[in-house]
């Protein structure tokens, strides 16, 4: 069965520190991979996507993610976190002609 896991329910980092949010997936087809961010009471905003090619993808707001096929992972990174990055982050997996499977989300808190 297709599934997405985000092992960390809640992460707290200090402003200016680096960030890595983990995402692992189990998917039968060649996956398309996505990261979304959700501020409280808001919809989801697409941060970045991977379809094929270069396994390191750049997104908006200074985020990047690396696809590692051997580890079935698509971890999200940011070198220096800002207080405005506090939000919920969702990893999602899809494929051509297939619906998304979303992970359960990781809540990020940022300390001043």
Partner 1 sequence: SQTIHQWPATLVQPVGSPLSLECTVEGTSNPNLYWYRQAAGRGLQLLFYSVGIGQISSEVPQNLSASRPQDRQFILSSKKLLLSDSGFYLCAWSQGLGQPQHFGDGTRLSIL
Residue from the set 59, 78, 103, 110 that interacts with partner 1 by CB under 8 A: 103
Count of residues binding partner 1 (CB under 8 A)?
A: 23
Per CB under 8 A, 2 contacts partner 1: no
Q: Which of residues 26-85 bind partner 1 (CB under 8 A)?
A: 32, 34, 36, 41-46, 49
Per CB under 8 A, 22 contacts partner 1: no
DSSP 27-50: -SSPPEEEEEEE-TTS-EEEEEEE
Q: What are the contacts of 76-79 at 24+ separation with CB within 8 A?
A: 76/19, 76/20, 76/21, 76/23, 76/35, 76/47, 76/48, 77/18, 77/19, 77/20, 77/21, 78/18, 78/19, 79/18
Candidates 14-22, 62-70, 71-79, 101-109; binding stretch for partner 1 (CB under 8 A) = 101-109
Q: Give me the least distance between CB of 55 and partner 1, in Å please.
A: 18
Candidates 13-21, 57-65, 74-82, 87-95; binding stretch for partner 1 (CB under 8 A) = 87-95
- Distance set, CA 56 to CA 49, 64, 68 (Å): 10, 7, 9
- Kindly list the residues in this chain that would bind partner 1 in the complex (CB under 8 A): 32, 34, 36, 41-46, 49, 90, 92, 94-100, 102-105
């Amino acid at each position: 069965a297709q599934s997405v896991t985000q092992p960390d329910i809640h992460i707290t980092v200090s402003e200016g520190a680096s960030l890595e949010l983990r995402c692992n997936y189990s998917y039968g087809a060649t996956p398309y991979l996505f990261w979304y961010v959700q501020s409280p009471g808001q919809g989801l905003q697409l941060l970045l996507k991977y379809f094929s090619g270069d396994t390191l993808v750049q997104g908006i707001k200074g985020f990047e993610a690396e696809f590692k096929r051997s580890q079935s992972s698509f971890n999200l990174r940011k070198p220096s976190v800002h207080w405005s990055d506090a939000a919920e982050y969702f990893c999602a997996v899809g494929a051509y002609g297939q619906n998304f499977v979303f992970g359960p989300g990781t809540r990020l808190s940022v300390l001043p």
